[in-house]
Structure 1
């Protein structure tokens, strides 16, 4: 794979673009389903841990798992607790639920007044289209959770154009796991490839999927960076709708990128094969000078192809480089730490074992060839 050609690297601050970086955890559980501790405690704990945005998304299994599921009373209680914890301008508390099918997969739903469980949306063969029918009737946002863990893979990432705008997220980090490789060692495609090739245009998220107390304080678990116009529920919704997000497992990370001047999470038309990438990357002081690697990923089988990469040191500023880009529908930037071991499932997949431990996934650029 070719190295990207460095243009400039420095500690200059990125230009102000009218967005705030909000540190978020969008997937958590409490005693309202199968977690430990109460939802009010969860919101308070995540705020104390320094998060700007916290969602409680208790499981909706329904009567097939009565001890693990939210119910109508719990749903109403969660709404009141989220409203009490929400403080516009200071802290965003979200109510959601996790539609939970042990066969087809789990999906988070945020921002609505309704909830539903799989048995209400049909049997194994009809549950996904029926759930999508339910989603299409409202204005909630939704995302794919720990993708590929359940064998049905959301009906093989069944696509529904009615939800193209509001199905906003794919979890790349869940707890301490990197879902790029989920199922690859068993002959499946990477969930990232399967999801994007199915037509979904999702942002990439990291979550703790916390079932314990101490929400927000456990180290090394997934979290999401959101580039939002405000620290409010409306601002968070705008960031998610715009796919202005990145996934990481590190505290205090800042990551954003542009391709030919267009922000990550958006559609880019480009002419020719050479593009310019601008990476804004910063981390806490102890990271300064640490060597990392930027990888440029495009469609491949069973995992994305690493089409270019560049080693850099954390400076707290911007990195500008030129790189060849193949024709295709999407491009993802991945930041890794070669000094830490790669996921064991990376095996001999070209470009992955040597890249080491994944630090961040930035939301895709949705690309098209000339014309």
Structure 2
């Protein structure tokens, strides 16, 4: 924007997004960083601080209004705009995010005038609540004119609360509260009243309430300083197959990495953790090294204008052979689960779970019939919104998101890096496989808080090839780019189905390649580990006991699961270099942890939750091990724990369980491992997959092979 006195005004925002090259909330941390008394918060402080600022560029120099520095806003919602009216008054317009009851977000248009030495308080414009769409700011002789879009999100949300949350709902018990929430008809919480539709475009004119005065300026002094190095999630791009690519059919394929589940601020439900749409694409390509990528904003919170913009961006960033940006959205139902819809082409309609025509998975698939697409459920075992696995579709339902950086793993109860709410009965990934669903595995991210990946073996890096490879389940999930699991049954590889002839016993090969030292590689059959790289050190007379502990709070149970494991007698904790994020202290005869399980719906509902701790103990059979948390204590000798049976201790609302498992993540001394397993492991009617865990807790899961 030109300044009457010469030069040009620029408006911009800056936003720091932490932890984006990590694998999310459940990531392990170095033991050297463990500090006594630090409580692990499974849902860290929500919201990002965005700084909005303006600069005057004149004669090669930079000046800022004398207003005490940039304006701190709750989160970035759209690009700010600046204008100078005919009276010389400086104006700034931007969207500011506000939180609604139960965590939804909306973005209002806020306008400020710079009067003398300070900015005026923000004016929130009428009918501007809704999406994060861009706005236009034009100067007038006295004041400015603002053109913007709104969709009435706030009013619909509040109407939903008034109409469907009874005043006595909280007095009917916690389970009743949960059911009341899930029973909301077509105005579910996320949708806040239905698909946002087209909304309204409004023109507002504003004038300053104060006499015009010249804007006081301060010079911006350039300070030369070195920048801290940015840790990238990946090194140089290398699409050569790493490890043992699945090419049993003789086809030449490459390994590509991507993320099929990302939200921008269009979704308005990530507690201010999600950046803008344009930034996401650059972030994916430049920082995370993603070869393919999908922004999957919630259909229920996406306007037709947003959807047009999202498709346009995906097509603008699509570069076949270099980067395959995919068109997609999230279909979000609190009754049947959350699905990401990924199109193979450059266009497609958007469908909402709150519209009667697409309010369950079967109706969604019916509407998708003319299109080449995939529907991929995620966080299937989430307690509040589990996936209903009674719905099946061999064409559209081919994959499941087993791990997401935003939360953790939903592989099964008591799994590696299980998220604390992954307890919905019959809804985990293993539950789905046991029920007959034939699903390949992917990893992805969801909202902020890190990054996770899907590795895909594809002939080419273009939309059609990537979606075809995903549909054929030639893929795996990984918490970090570069970890590659391998599974072969004869000539078949991950994602394939094998029919054995009578008496046929094909070779069974499994293994992995890691980016750091491996801790364990496991072969899973029908939910049970049937082969593993894990071995107790040889030549030791003392017991070696890898323990997996689970601290479980039941519905309405305690939130504080702080506790400890202590040893009395001739035994010690086997040292490791990495530990779970909840751990606050590790010594030779004790491990301590601190965490608080989340509360939902304004802290009025305490859903079930778990905390899993892995520790390996070496010592005498008579050593006594005590585990305490949540007012419960479990005591057993090392011999009893080593017997292989699950031990548990219970109290009202809480229990502690212990079993033999992976334990502390000790190293295998190698970054790659491959073995031919006992062929007797194979049996018809079973499914198999590989789970690999590094010493730093990073992991990968191959898609299954089904043996018929």
Q: How many angstroms apart in 2 are the aligned matches of 1:110 and 1:138?
A: 10
Residue 321 (structure 1) aligned to one of 649, 654, 677: 677
CA-CA distance at 1:148 after TM superposition: 1.7
Indicate if the aligned counterparts of 2:361 and 2:391 stay in contact, CA closer than 8 A. Answer: no
The alignment status of 1:292 with 2:519, answered yes or no, reads yes
The alignment status of 1:119 with 2:351, answered yes or no, reads no
Indicate if the aligned counterparts of 1:208 and 1:222 stay in contact, CA closer than 8 A. Answer: yes
Which structure would you say has the larger RCO, counting Cα contacts within 8 Å and 6 or more residues apart? Answer: 1
Q: How many angstroms apart in 2 are the aligned matches of 1:269 and 1:292?
A: 33
* Map of 1:354 onto structure 2: none
Note the 1:91-106 alignment, pairs <5 A. Answer: 91-106=323-338
* Map of 1:336 onto structure 2: 693
Q: How many angstroms apart in 1 are the aligned matches of 2:476 and 2:447?
A: 19
Indicate if the aligned counterparts of 2:348 and 2:371 stay in contact, CA closer than 8 A. Answer: no
Indicate if the aligned counterparts of 2:383 and 2:422 stay in contact, CA closer than 8 A. Answer: no
The alignment status of 1:310 with 2:533, answered yes or no, reads yes
Cα deviation, 1:290-341, whole Å, max 9, x if unaligned, reads 2432222222xxxx1222223465444744333412332421221134x56x
* Map of 2:364 onto structure 1: 131
Change (3 A) 1:330 1:336: same
Moved more, 167-176 or 223-232: 167-176
Note the 1:209-228 alignment, pairs <5 A. Answer: 209-211=446-448, 218=450, 221-228=451-458
Cα deviation, 1:249-280, whole Å, max 9, x if unaligned, reads 12322333211121110111235596523336
Cα deviation, 1:64-114, whole Å, max 9, x if unaligned, reads xxxxx1111111111110111111001111121010112321100001511
CA-CA distance at 1:186 after TM superposition: 5.0
Note the 1:49-88 alignment, pairs <5 A. Answer: 49=287, 50-61=289-300, 69-88=301-320
Cα deviation, 1:115-149, whole Å, max 9, x if unaligned, reads 111111469xx623322322334321111111121
Q: How many angstroms apart in 1 are the aligned matches of 2:703 and 2:498?
A: 13
Q: How many angstroms apart in 1 are the aligned matches of 2:458 and 2:531?
A: 29
Change (3 A) 1:14 1:179: closer
Q: How many angstroms apart in 2 are the aligned matches of 1:187 and 1:96?
A: 27
Q: SS at the partner of 1:100?
A: strand
- Length-normalised TM-score, structure 2: 0.41
Cα deviation, 1:185-216, whole Å, max 9, x if unaligned, reads 8572361222223332211011111347xxxx
CA-CA distance at 1:169 after TM superposition: 1.3
* Map of 2:571 onto structure 1: none
CA-CA distance at 1:39 after TM superposition: 1.4
Indicate if the aligned counterparts of 2:485 and 2:691 stay in contact, CA closer than 8 A. Answer: no
Q: How many angstroms apart in 1 are the aligned matches of 2:370 and 2:280?
A: 30
Change (3 A) 1:21 1:108: same
* Map of 1:352 onto structure 2: none
Indicate if the aligned counterparts of 2:383 and 2:421 stay in contact, CA closer than 8 A. Answer: no
The alignment status of 1:18 with 2:252, answered yes or no, reads yes
Change (3 A) 1:196 1:115: same
Change (3 A) 1:194 1:14: closer
Indicate if the aligned counterparts of 1:24 and 1:224 stay in contact, CA closer than 8 A. Answer: yes
- Higher helix fraction: Structure 1 or Structure 2? 1
Indicate if the aligned counterparts of 1:205 and 1:247 stay in contact, CA closer than 8 A. Answer: yes
Moved more, 168-177 or 191-200: 191-200
* Map of 1:6 onto structure 2: none
Residue 278 (structure 1) aligned to one of 509, 527, 551: 509
Change (3 A) 1:167 1:23: same
Q: SS at the partner of 1:86?
A: coil
Q: Considering only aligned residues, what root-mean-square deviation do their CA atoms show, in Å?
A: 2.8
* Map of 1:192 onto structure 2: 429
Q: How many angstroms apart in 2 are the aligned matches of 1:184 and 1:330?
A: 26
CA-CA distance at 1:153 after TM superposition: 3.3
* Map of 2:125 onto structure 1: none
* Map of 1:179 onto structure 2: 410
Cα deviation, 1:217-237, whole Å, max 9, x if unaligned, reads x3xx42111111111111211
Structure 2 stretches of 5 or more lacking a match? Answer: 1-241, 414-419, 535-667
* Matched residue count: 313
**Which of structures 1 and 2 has the bigger CA Rg?**
2
Q: How many angstroms apart in 2 are the aligned matches of 1:318 and 1:253?
A: 14
Residue 478 (structure 2) aligned to one of 221, 227, 248: 248
Change (3 A) 1:54 1:184: closer
Q: SS at the partner of 2:398?
A: strand
* Map of 1:344 onto structure 2: none
CA-CA distance at 1:150 after TM superposition: 5.0
Q: How many angstroms apart in 1 are the aligned matches of 2:328 and 2:423?
A: 32
Q: How many angstroms apart in 1 are the aligned matches of 2:277 and 2:422?
A: 37
Indicate if the aligned counterparts of 1:98 and 1:108 stay in contact, CA closer than 8 A. Answer: yes
- Length-normalised TM-score, structure 1: 0.76
